[in-house]
Amino acid sequence: MLTQNKRLLGILITAGVIISLPAIAMLFTSEVNWTLSDFLVAAVLLFGTGLTCEFVLRRVKKTSSRLLIVGVILLALFLVWAELAVGVFGTPFAGS
């Protein structure tokens, strides 16, 4: 149980650090210009993905199944993030 809590804490800290990077960059350059809604969407994506992965790691016992499910979750995160960032697929979801 203690290792699960350490893993959860690690996931939450990692997501928090990733969220703080654009905020720090905004202090030094005008090229990074995130709004509050950008930070909220990023937080939902990162914390939601992290918590979903933690749920899978706690519930799924078979290692190969764990890896496959977590891999699909991470792939979905990267695809959504790329679409929101630059509109890779050109959907209205990205605002293009």
Question: Could you tell me which of 55, 28, 25 has the C-alpha nearest to residue 39?
Answer: 25
Buried b (16+ CB within 10 A) or exposed e, 58-89: eeeeeeeebeebbeebeeebeeebebbeeeee
pTM (2 d.p.): 0.85
Both tokens of residue 91? 């959907």
- Each residue's pLDDT, cut to its tens digit, for the chain (96 residues) gives 677 789 999 999 999 999 999 999 999 999 999 999 999 999 999 999 999 999 999 999 999 999 999 999 999 999 999 888 888 887 877 765
> For the chain, what are the domain ranges?
2-94
Both tokens of residue 95? 């605002």
